[in-house]
Structure 1
Amino acid sequence: MKKILGLVFLVFIFISTAWYAPPKPETMHSIEGTWELQSFYSYDDGVNISDTVPKADGYRQVKMYYNGKVMWTRYVPQDSVEWFGYGQYKVTPDSLIETLEYASSSMMSALDTLRVFRFELDITERTYSQISFDEEGNRTFSENYVRID
């Protein structure tokens, strides 16, 4: 009788574990695709958003991420200077790292020697923010994008 009860108990445990599926970990959203800038945030205290600045009328900034490559372009109606860049990117669960390979001459002169950009990344399926931070790790401002493709 003990053997039968033990066997029934083992079968019960086996069946109950077969139906149990552990919760799936939250999947990381993909940044691959085309994104358009919508606004900027300012962080005065390094933590909380202190101001939201919409993009100016006619201003467009689009970024495209695909297969480890990033390309972006900016159009400012009142500015005849060209702004674009191309390079590589890497995403971790909480950061975006872009390494610029080449860019418009105006961008290259504005960069001086800076070619690697590290951002805190806040991403969903339809939006993402690339958040800049200072030397102490405090947030300073962000660019906020919406997926367009």
Structure 2
Amino acid sequence: MKKIFGLALLMFFLVSATEFASPQPEAMHSIEGTWELQSFYNYDDGINISDTVPTAEGYRQVKMYYNGKVMWSRHAPQDPREWFGYGTYKITADSLIEKLEFGSAPMMSALDTLRVFRFELEMTDDTYSQISFDEEGHRTFSENYKRID
């Protein structure tokens, strides 16, 4: 009888404790899908946007995220070189980390010095900004994307 009473008391305590637990955080937006670059922001003081630069006529950059993988390509009419990359990604509530594994010849040259790209992430259902920062943590510029699929 003591065991049953103890078990019932324990169950009552556990059920009561769940009512006082902190609420679940809001669900994060999903970055999975296809995104197209719309503009760039520059930050003059590491906090505030100093200007918005739209993409140039004919310039196109698309990123695709799926199942922990990222792939992107860029077409710039004034640059005859091919630019694309492939790798893995991870997001948290406020950061995006891309680790590129391979890419086009110009990208592979850049990957000799840097393979892991860390960004501050601002995201809604249909837009996101990947914000670059300096070694002191001040914002420098961002790429701003719109979901296309």
Q: Give 1:23 shift.
A: 6.6
Which residue number corresponds to residue 132 of structure 1? 132
Separation in structure 2 between the aligned mates of residue 49 and residue 112 of structure 1, nearest angstrom:
31
SS of the residue corresponding to residue 79 of structure 2 reads coil
Which residue number corresponds to residue 147 of structure 1? 147
Q: Give 1:26 shift.
A: 1.9
Which residue number corresponds to residue 11 of structure 1? none
Q: Which amino acid aligns with 2:109?
A: S
Which residue number corresponds to residue 107 of structure 2? 107
Which residue number corresponds to residue 73 of structure 1? 73
Q: Give 1:125 shift.
A: 0.1
SS of the residue corresponding to residue 108 of structure 2 reads helix
Q: How does 1:20-99 map to 2 (within 5 A)?
A: 25-99=25-99
Q: 1:108-131 CA distances to partner (integer Å, 9 max, x unpaired)?
A: 213432000000000000000000
Q: Which amino acid aligns with 2:146?
A: V
Separation in structure 2 between the aligned mates of residue 132 and residue 63 of structure 1, nearest angstrom:
17
Separation in structure 2 between the aligned mates of residue 131 and residue 111 of structure 1, nearest angstrom:
19
Q: 1:63-100 CA distances to partner (integer Å, 9 max, x unpaired)?
A: 00000000000000122100000000000110000000
Larger proportion of strand: 2
Separation in structure 1 between the aligned mates of residue 77 and residue 50 of structure 2, nearest angstrom:
27
Q: Which residues of structure 1 form unaligned runs of 5+?
A: 1-17
Give TM-score scaled by structure 1 length.
Answer: 0.83
Q: How many residue pairs were aligned?
A: 129
Q: Which residues of structure 2 form unaligned runs of 5+?
A: 1-18
Q: Which amino acid aligns with 2:88?
A: Q
Separation in structure 1 between the aligned mates of residue 71 and residue 85 of structure 2, nearest angstrom:
6
SS of the residue corresponding to residue 49 of structure 2 reads coil
Separation in structure 1 between the aligned mates of residue 94 and residue 28 of structure 2, nearest angstrom:
10
